[in-house]
Structure 1
């Protein structure tokens, strides 16, 4: 089975490697030629431009986008709409807003091109352990994509789901990321309370490691937090600055539109805004968690 993967950053490159190792024929393009060249020895067929998917792949084609939400994805979809043929399938695996995905699907459908939106979770660890995948698609498109999702997931029968029609995949991933905001905030606040109780001199690294085993609050996020604290629980050099990449805002806005109270998720979003204005240990820990699971850069502490 073959496909093209457009966007070979942290996620796209890992997904390409995982598919190549399982025998898929993968063609790849990235604006950075070095990202393409790095994967060629592993079997990637290089593309010099997005337009080359038409001549490189055999119809009906599958083209999977792993690009930043917004203008970059919009331009890629527009390009594919002009070069692909009826029966081809475009998949957006980035963190696009679900209403944009629905609009793009309608535009491509008018040209006879299928569209699926797949929320992808797993960060930089997905290549080794598998990705969590939430697919929004028609039944026909979902059937075509099933072998790819089974290969990318932690196991063929675990970690992937056809959520519903187009838009549902990115909607589910949006809410997933809103929950992620809240979980991270809870850990960060808890560890800050522990750190501020100076007279107990609690070793945060040892406590976090103990919590990983047998406790109610054990999780992968706690695993990553424990690893970061074991390396440096003072988090020297990490600025207490936590960006919000969009999904948390979208989740809160959608909750307002639906009349659903989400005080925990919205509170976590407000805290990210606050981190851009004041310094706290909790914000340092949030920044380190984002780096641990997603490879996101941290702002360095200049002082």
Structure 2
């Protein structure tokens, strides 16, 4: 199959290369000339502008978007819309909010254009290991794209599937990332407790390696954690600042809207927010309160 990949950052370029390795023709566009040159070295056919990339495609056209969530997606669709016709398919493989996806899908459907949302997990390892793909949208359009999804997935039969109507793929990916927040927080807290038990002098990398085999907490995330601990057991050079890309916030908001209790995911998000305050006013006020009611000593900063 032939398609255009719009956005040749690390994730988009890796996905495009995996498709090329699987026998597909991938035309690529990115506003950065360096990104286009690097993509060409990986077997992707680069185009200097969006119009040329789309015009070169056979019909029905398939365009895969790997651009940042939010306004950039809307801007890209606005550029694409005059270049597309009924029967063409646009896939959003980024981390868009599912409500935005539903809106975009309804708008493009008026012109007979299929908008497919593909929640994509696999990160930097996807090129070698394959991607987990959660796909929403019209079932017939998804079926036509089966060769693409089967190539990107870990195997043609596993790691991907049509999960529901427009927005369902991005909704599933949102919850996937919320679960990921909780898992990461649990691992981080557990290893922090082990590290602080200095009398036992745990080798955290070695312990993680033990858990990787046979333990009920084994996972790919633990595999990656074990590697990180072996390379840098003291986490030297890493600031205690944890970013979030939005899906955790959306997951918590959705849980509230649906009256679903999700304390672990919610607290893991709050811990990420807390990590960014290196001069916590709240902590200072807590220390002052303890001093006021109990005369407890205040550590001078």
TM over 0.5: yes
For these two proteins, the number of residue pairs brought into alignment is 279
User: Do residues 126 (structure 1) and 161 (structure 2) align?
Assistant: no
Counterpart in 1 of 2:83?
Answer: 83
Paired with 1:42 and 1:125, the residues of 2 have a C-alpha distance of: 16
The aligned runs of 1:1-303 (5 Å cut-off) are: 1-278=1-278
Please report how far the alpha carbon of residue 278 of structure 1 lies from its aligned counterpart in structure 2 after TM superposition: 4.2
SS at match of 1:244: coil
Paired with 1:54 and 1:165, the residues of 2 have a C-alpha distance of: 26
Bigger mean CA deviation after superposition, 210-219 or 48-57: 48-57
Paired with 2:54 and 2:193, the residues of 1 have a C-alpha distance of: 57
SS at match of 1:259: coil
Paired with 1:36 and 1:23, the residues of 2 have a C-alpha distance of: 20
Please report how far the alpha carbon of residue 148 of structure 1 lies from its aligned counterpart in structure 2 after TM superposition: 0.5
Please report how far the alpha carbon of residue 114 of structure 1 lies from its aligned counterpart in structure 2 after TM superposition: 1.0
Paired with 1:69 and 1:204, the residues of 2 have a C-alpha distance of: 36
Alignment deviations for residues 162-191 of structure 1 (CA, whole Å, 9 cap, x no partner): 000010000000000000000000000000
Please report how far the alpha carbon of residue 199 of structure 1 lies from its aligned counterpart in structure 2 after TM superposition: 1.0
Paired with 2:72 and 2:40, the residues of 1 have a C-alpha distance of: 24
Please report how far the alpha carbon of residue 81 of structure 1 lies from its aligned counterpart in structure 2 after TM superposition: 1.3
- Stretches of structure 2 that go unaligned for 5 or more consecutive residues are 280-301
Paired with 2:274 and 2:41, the residues of 1 have a C-alpha distance of: 45
- Stretches of structure 1 that go unaligned for 5 or more consecutive residues are 280-303
Alignment deviations for residues 117-159 of structure 1 (CA, whole Å, 9 cap, x no partner): 0000000000001000000011111111111000000000000
Paired with 1:269 and 1:262, the residues of 2 have a C-alpha distance of: 11
Counterpart in 2 of 1:293?
Answer: none
TM-score w.r.t. length of structure 1: 0.90
Mapped contact 2:7–2:30 kept (Cα < 8 A): yes
Paired with 1:233 and 1:259, the residues of 2 have a C-alpha distance of: 40
Counterpart in 2 of 1:301?
Answer: none
Paired with 1:261 and 1:49, the residues of 2 have a C-alpha distance of: 47
SS at match of 2:151: helix
Paired with 1:42 and 1:54, the residues of 2 have a C-alpha distance of: 20
Which has the bigger relative contact order, CA under 8 A and spacing at least 6? 1
Mapped contact 1:81–1:111 kept (Cα < 8 A): no
Counterpart in 1 of 2:293?
Answer: none
Higher Cα Rg: structure 1 or 2? Answer: 2
RMSD (Å), alpha carbons: 1.1
Please report how far the alpha carbon of residue 42 of structure 1 lies from its aligned counterpart in structure 2 after TM superposition: 3.4
Paired with 1:131 and 1:210, the residues of 2 have a C-alpha distance of: 27
Paired with 2:237 and 2:22, the residues of 1 have a C-alpha distance of: 40
Alignment deviations for residues 67-102 of structure 1 (CA, whole Å, 9 cap, x no partner): 110111111111111221111110000000000000
